Structure 1
Amino acid sequence: MRAKTVLIALPNRDFDPSEVAISWQLLRAAGVRVRFATADGQAAVGDPLMLSGEGLDPWARVPGLRRLKLLGLLLRARRDVREAYARLLLDSEFRQPLRYQQLQVDDFAGLLLPGGHWARGMRDYLESQTLQAFVGAFFASAKPVAAICHGVLLAARSPGAAGRSALYGRKTTALTWAMEKSAWDLTRFYGRCWDPDYYRTYREAAGEPAGYMSVQAEVSRALASPADFLDVPADAPQRLRKISGLHRDGPDDSRPAWVVVDGNYVSARWPGDVHTFAQRFIELLG
């Protein structure tokens, strides 16, 4: 039987390594062929700060101290992710991605949209009208779609019926403003203070309230109702584990994860949800 093929769309640089490498690893283990696409057909590069943790601490610019990590150890990808990412770099499909312009819905059984936050690379991905048109067409096809973190923002910007978002009428989660702000505060006040907006892809303009350009706020504006954005409810089991930002899920531990499935669409918040997120996507693929 011919293996199902899933597309992972990527920015040319600065994607989140956990959300891509773990998703790829679990899909391949499930017998799914994984292809990739970038804007120019060149192999993508993950966010180097999330891989090494170097450059996130306040002393990182002092000669000889860059490798000394404290905040960097907290925020960087875990060892299993770094090992999966090293294997990903050797994958022939990853090394020879398609271009956005080549993408055809009929060529794929599913679509996965990962995230990242560093504006240097992510904005081209999030703002590509070519990619948005493809994502909108994929949603319209009723094939499974998975989006995590800023990948949900790409889905929200993609066209659906009647000039609305492809997410209009759907329930979703994404990077919450609480999580985005806590990581932003950590890096701008206690870490990478010379680059205070490292953790914000978009900043508010003058007169806009705090969080107006956060992932949660923009995604919510694209939905049929703000109530369709689902965060961890107050009575959820393991709620503190899910919302603290200190715990990440694993192959045998879904307790920290918060994943929302609505029909053929699955969404998640951040790298700490990725194992559960990828497994739910695999279930949708059948």
Structure 2
Amino acid sequence: MARVIMPLPHRDFDPSEVAVSWRVLTDRGHEVRFATPDGGPAPADPIMLDGVGLDPWSRVPGLRRVRLIGLVLRANRDARRAFTELERDPHFHTPLRWDQASAGDFDGLVLPGGHRARGMRDYLESAVLQRLVVAFFDADKPVGAICHGVLLAARSHRDDGKSVLYGRRTASLTWAQERAASALAHVGRWWDRDYYRTYVEEPGQPEGYMSVEAEVMRALASPGDYVDVPHGAPDFRRKTSGLARDTIDDARPAWVVRDGKYVSARWPGDAHTFAANIAELLD
């Protein structure tokens, strides 16, 4: 059995990326522990669990729970079931503090994502977590990063100033995915249009400059090290439609990139395959 540490923000993490990864790893016999800024339990992004708040009438009394866009974008049935099971795990309710997590105490590191600025920015900007990421890479232990978790890895720099992803091949949430979700939010969540954008461009910056993809690419040795689904790949449409999600038995919709002991993926729809790859490395 391997021991895995999964840092979480103080709130608003993506429930699919956390719960599915936990479910797959624990089903394979591994122990998953969690860490939060203060050592207290962290709540998931509620919108990604129930879908309430993603439709344009969500603020109208009596219509709040009528969901169309919300049903499409929220966690799917597999992920919601996994999250319900996760909430019964004692480790989930007794996390370590971020500064108590050590690469010497664990065999692997999993970096999940999320996108709401209120919860995610402290996680993505934490010097404590960035040092932890560097320690795992320097120890050559398995590291998995999905969605915005890849951004945390990209921001983790060694003493020479280079990211731990410099010289690595990686995937992440793509600008196409981030832009499409943001466009839906501009319609469905018109009062909070940047719900899907953790960082937005400043005046004078080109569109997408502050996207996850763009910042991750700036940390790499070469733009070619950023690996997206190539045109002509098997199941290309399934992988890129934003509608199909993988399952434990069907990896066709997923896109996961492995480089040595580093595993990366794009979004919740890759979570089963992402976690299965980490489990293989731990095994």
**Structure 2 residue matching 1:36: 3-state secondary structure:** strand
Counterpart for residue 114 of structure 2: 116
The partner residue of 1:97 within 95, 114, 118 is: 95
Q: Are 1:276 and 2:277 an aligned pair?
A: no
| Partner amino acid, structure 2, of 1:37 | A
| Partner amino acid, structure 1, of 2:237 | L
| Partner amino acid, structure 2, of 1:278 | A
Counterpart for residue 76 of structure 2: 78
Following the alignment from structure 1 to structure 2, what is the Cα–Cα distance between the partners of residues 34 and 115?
A: 16
Following the alignment from structure 2 to structure 1, what is the Cα–Cα distance between the partners of residues 127 and 248?
A: 35
Counterpart for residue 223 of structure 1: 220
Following the alignment from structure 1 to structure 2, what is the Cα–Cα distance between the partners of residues 214 and 228?
A: 17
Q: Is the 8 A contact 2:6 2:109 kept in 1?
A: yes
Q: Are 1:207 and 2:208 an aligned pair?
A: no
Deviations 1:49-76 (A, max 9, x none): 0000001100000000010000000100
Following the alignment from structure 2 to structure 1, what is the Cα–Cα distance between the partners of residues 58 and 191?
A: 10
Tell me how far 1:187 sits from its aligned partner: 1.0
Counterpart for residue 147 of structure 1: 145
Q: Is the 8 A contact 1:160 1:168 kept in 2?
A: no
Counterpart for residue 239 of structure 1: 236
Counterpart for residue 87 of structure 1: 85
Q: Is the 8 A contact 1:160 1:167 kept in 2?
A: no
Counterpart for residue 35 of structure 2: 37
Write out aligned runs for 1:62-77 (5 A): 62-77=60-75
| Partner amino acid, structure 1, of 2:215 | E
Counterpart for residue 17 of structure 2: 19
Tell me how far 1:104 sits from its aligned partner: 1.3
Tell me how far 1:162 sits from its aligned partner: 1.7
Following the alignment from structure 1 to structure 2, what is the Cα–Cα distance between the partners of residues 133 and 159?
A: 8
**Structure 1 residue matching 2:82: 3-state secondary structure:** helix
Greater than 3 Å deviation, 4+ residue runs: none
Q: Is the 8 A contact 1:148 1:269 kept in 2?
A: yes
Q: Are 1:261 and 2:264 an aligned pair?
A: no
Instruction: Give the number of aligned pairs.
Output: 283
The partner residue of 2:190 within 187, 193, 199 is: 193
Following the alignment from structure 1 to structure 2, what is the Cα–Cα distance between the partners of residues 149 and 61?
A: 29
Tell me how far 1:249 sits from its aligned partner: 0.5
Following the alignment from structure 2 to structure 1, what is the Cα–Cα distance between the partners of residues 221 and 135?
A: 19
Following the alignment from structure 1 to structure 2, what is the Cα–Cα distance between the partners of residues 221 and 214?
A: 11
Q: Is the 8 A contact 2:239 2:252 kept in 1?
A: yes
Following the alignment from structure 1 to structure 2, what is the Cα–Cα distance between the partners of residues 161 and 262?
A: 22
| Partner amino acid, structure 1, of 2:133 | V
Name stretches of at least 5 consecutive residues in structure 1 with no aligned partner: none
Tell me how far 1:160 sits from its aligned partner: 2.7
**Structure 2 residue matching 1:143: 3-state secondary structure:** coil
| Partner amino acid, structure 1, of 2:164 | A
Tell me how far 1:235 sits from its aligned partner: 1.8
| Partner amino acid, structure 2, of 1:267 | S
Q: What is the root-mean-square deviation in Å for CA atoms of aligned residues?
A: 0.7
Following the alignment from structure 1 to structure 2, what is the Cα–Cα distance between the partners of residues 130 and 56?
A: 33
**Structure 2 residue matching 1:194: 3-state secondary structure:** helix
Scaled by the length of structure 2, the TM-score of the pair is 0.99
| Partner amino acid, structure 1, of 2:200 | R
Following the alignment from structure 2 to structure 1, what is the Cα–Cα distance between the partners of residues 248 and 101?
A: 31
Following the alignment from structure 1 to structure 2, what is the Cα–Cα distance between the partners of residues 233 and 4?
A: 34
**Structure 2 residue matching 1:45: 3-state secondary structure:** coil
Q: Is the 8 A contact 2:5 2:101 kept in 1?
A: no
How high is the sequence identity, in percent, across the aligned residues?
Answer: 63
Counterpart for residue 3 of structure 2: 5
| Partner amino acid, structure 2, of 1:199 | Y
Following the alignment from structure 2 to structure 1, what is the Cα–Cα distance between the partners of residues 20 and 65?
A: 25
Stretch moving more, 269-278 or 87-96: 87-96
The partner residue of 2:127 within 126, 129, 152 is: 129
